[in-house]
Amino acid sequence: MHFKYQQWDERFSKGEYQSPFDSLWDTFQELLTIASGEVSQALQWLNQLDNEYGLTDDFDDYGIGDFIKELEERGYLERNPAQNTLQMTRKTERSLRRRSLEEIFDNLKKGEFGSHQTDHTGRGLERQPETRKWHQGDDITNIDSHSTMMNMLKHSNIEKLELREGDIRVHDTDHYTSVATVLLIDLSHSMILYGEDRITPAKKVAMALSELILNKYAKDSLDIVAFGNEAWKVNIEDLPYLKAGPYHTNTKQALQLARHILHRRKYANKQIFMITDGKPSCIIENGEIYKNSFGLDRKIVNKVLDEAVKCRRDNINITTFMIARDPYLQNFVRELTEANKGRAYFASLDTLGEYLFEDYIQNRKRRFK
Answer yes or no: are the C-beta atoms of 320 and 258 closer than 8 Å.
Answer: no
Q: Provide the pLDDT for residue 106.
A: 74
CA distance 184 to 191: 14
Q: Minimal CA–CA distance to 187: which of 118, 122, 243?
A: 243
**Which of 110, 144, 174 lies at the terminal end of a domain, its last residue?**
174
Please state the length of the chain. Answer: 369
Establish if 46 belongs to a structural domain.
Answer: yes
Q: Provide the pLDDT for residue 241.
A: 96
Which residues, at least 6 apart from 203, have a Cβ–Cβ distance to it below 8 Å?
A: 33, 100, 185, 239, 240, 242
Q: Provide the pLDDT for residue 82.
A: 87
Phi, psi (rounded to 5 degrees) for 89: -105, 170
Do residues 266 and 339 both lie within one domain? yes
Establish if 61 belongs to a structural domain.
Answer: yes
Q: Minimal CA–CA distance to 180: which of 276, 309, 273?
A: 273
Establish if 122 belongs to a structural domain.
Answer: no
Q: Minimal CA–CA distance to 254: which of 195, 186, 189?
A: 186
CA distance 185 to 24: 29
Q: Provide the pLDDT for residue 123.
A: 39
Distances (CA, A) of 368 to 126, 263, 267, 272: 22, 15, 11, 12
**Over its length of 369 residues, how does the chain's per-residue pLDDT go in tens digits?**
455 555 545 544 444 557 899 999 999 999 999 999 999 999 999 999 999 999 999 888 899 999 999 999 999 999 998 888 999 999 999 999 999 998 887 766 443 433 333 333 333 344 456 677 877 666 677 788 888 888 888 888 777 788 888 888 887 665 557 889 999 999 999 888 777 888 999 999 999 999 988 888 878 899 999 999 999 999 999 999 999 999 999 999 999 999 999 999 988 889 999 998 878 999 999 889 999 988 788 999 999 999 999 999 999 999 998 887 777 777 888 899 999 999 988 878 888 888 888 788 777 655 444
Which residues, at least 6 apart from 53, have a Cβ–Cβ distance to it below 8 Å?
A: none
Looking at the structure of the chain, the number of domains it has is: 3
Establish if 203 belongs to a structural domain.
Answer: yes
Do residues 80 and 152 both lie within one domain? no
Do residues 167 and 275 both lie within one domain? no
Establish if 124 belongs to a structural domain.
Answer: no
Do residues 140 and 195 both lie within one domain? no
**Which of 60, 88, 116 lies at the terminal end of a domain, its last residue?**
88
Q: With 0-12 CB in 10 A as exposed, 13-18 as middle and 19+ as buried, what is 265?
A: middle
Do residues 29 and 72 both lie within one domain? yes
Q: With 0-12 CB in 10 A as exposed, 13-18 as middle and 19+ as buried, what is 140?
A: exposed
Q: Provide the pLDDT for residue 187.
A: 94
**Which of 64, 88, 112 lies at the terminal end of a domain, its last residue?**
88
| Structural domain range at position 240 | 179-363
Answer yes or no: are the C-beta atoms of 179 and 271 closer than 8 Å.
Answer: yes
| SS3 call for 124 | strand
CATH code for the domain of 304:
3.40.50.410
CA distance 182 to 122: 27
